[in-house]
Structure formats: C-alpha cells, structure tokens
Amino acid sequence: MQNNTTTYTLAKLQTYDECPQKYKLCYIDRVHIVEPISQTKTGNNLHNIINYYLKGNEVTKLVEALPKADKLLWYNFKNSDVKNYKVIESEYPFNLKIDNYWLTGRIDALFEFDENYIILDWKTGSSFKPENVKFQTSFYLLCMYEILRLKKLIKMPEELSLQYLNLAANSRINIPFTQELYMQYRKQLLDIITNINENTNFYCNKTPACKQCKYYRACPYI
C-alpha cells in the first residue's frame, strides 16, 4: 500500500490507470524485465540540441553532425512558430503538492506568448497520435497550471495551453485548457492516487493489449 509521502510521477499514475497489476509488478514487486534496446537515439539527440539552443547556446556544429533525417527534424523545429515565443524554461523539472500528495515530472519547455503560457512537447516519431498521450496531456496541464498559479503568473486555466510539435510530420497540435478540464483532470488524478493507496487487490484489466505488455509472462492473472 502506498501513502501520502510517496512521490507520484506521470509514469506511475499512467501505469496504474492502464492496469493495476502492471503497476504492482513494476512499482511494488519491482519485477525486472529485460527489454530490447529501443531506438531512442534520434529523440534524445533532438531533445538535447533543442534544449541547448533554447538556453541560448550555439548549436551549429551539433546540427552539422546530425544525420540528414535528423537535420530535417531540427529545421522543422527551427522554422516553426516557436521562434515567435518567449522562452521561460527548457527541460523544466517540477515538484508540487496537491492535497498532500507529491507530484513530480519534467516538461520539454515552457513559453510565453501573447500574455499566455504554452507548454511545448516535441515528438520525433512519425507514428505520433495525440490520443495516445491523453494522460500526459492532463498531467502536464494540471501540474503546470498549479505551479504557475502559485507563482501568481496566471489566474485562470484558459491562460495556459499545451502544444505537441510533431517534427516528423512538421505539424502542431494545440490543446487549450479550461476550468472544466482543470476540475476533470484534478479529480481523475486524485481518484487514481486514492485507488493506489486503498487498493489491496491489484487486478489485471485483461485487455487485448495484455500480449504487448512487458509483464505479460509474469502476470498471475494471465
């Protein structure tokens, strides 16, 4: 059983939302599963260069060293509307407390534009779909709104939005925030934490996605 001194990350909450048994195997039983090395080099390279660039550093030589395909992703970022935004933070880590529970995470960048704030998250994979990151969307908007509100930088959720930059498709998806969504996301998050704390039976959701779960062979419900 968890308690209110536990720090909750996006990964932890999303894992429980997907499947309580997966959460138990990963974060309580700490079952270690050896996985194939993923192809994350492109994403990491671009994130590092963008972060370095947003902090005001010269990145010409770093960009020149990139493979041709990665250079295209960089130029898609460089030529996007981001150039019109004011950089507030890049690779911004955060910690905050909501109803006695600690939440922690990191966003790619926070910008200010037209007296509003924008969370930006860049994606380098061609298969990116916004419906696959719904939980990330709610977590980032809720947490950053609470932080900016406590800093007295904004007063209403409508002053904050989240944008996904799909660098592979050279497209942008803007997700506005509202008071109604704030209440919905807050309840969703606190309900998940309450369920984690009170759960004595970490059941398996048993969905078609189970076969793709890395804990499939370790799950006692399969």
In a domain, 28, yes or no: no
Helices 10-18 and 134-150, axial angle in degrees (round to 10): 140
- CB–CB of 195/213 below 8 Å? no
Determine phi and psi for 116, rounding to 5 degrees.
Answer: -125, 165
Residue in this structure with the two tokens 């700490």, named with its chain if needed: 30
In a domain, 50, yes or no: yes
Q: Which amino acid is at 164?
A: Y
Name the domain count of the chain.
1
Work out the pLDDT band at 39, boundaries 50, 70, 90. Answer: very low
The rounded distance, in Å, linking the Cα atoms of 91 and 180 is 28
Report strand pairing: 7-9 vs 101-113.
parallel
The rounded distance, in Å, linking the Cα atoms of 171 and 4 is 40
Is residue 28 pLDDT above 90, yes or no? yes
Is residue 66 pLDDT above 70, yes or no? yes
In a domain, 201, yes or no: no
Compute and round to an integer the Cα radius of gyration of the chain.
Answer: 19
Beta-bridge partner residues of 156: none
Give the lowest-confidence range in 1-10, 53-62, 209-218.
1-10
State residue 44's pLDDT score.
79
- CB–CB of 19/13 below 8 Å? no
In a domain, 101, yes or no: yes
In a domain, 127, yes or no: yes
State residue 45's pLDDT score.
81
Q: Where are the alpha helices (DSSP H) in the chain?
A: 10-18, 20-23, 41-54, 60-64, 68-78, 134-150, 179-198
| Residue 111: CATH number of its domain | 3.90.320.10
What is the residue range of 164's domain?
Answer: 40-189
Q: What percent of the chain has pLDDT over 90?
A: 74
pLDDT 10s digits, 103-145: 999 999 999 999 999 999 998 877 777 777 889 999 999 999 9
pLDDT 10s digits, 159-172: 999 999 999 998 99
Residue in this structure with the two tokens 């996985």, named with its chain if needed: 35
In a domain, 219, yes or no: no
Report strand pairing: 160-166 vs 171-176.
antiparallel
In a domain, 51, yes or no: yes
Report strand pairing: 171-176 vs 86-98.
unpaired
State residue 46's pLDDT score.
85
Q: Which amino acid is at 185?
A: Y
In a domain, 213, yes or no: no
- CB–CB of 208/9 below 8 Å? no
State residue 209's pLDDT score.
86
- CB–CB of 112/118 below 8 Å? yes
Q: Which amino acid is at 187?
A: K
State residue 41's pLDDT score.
54
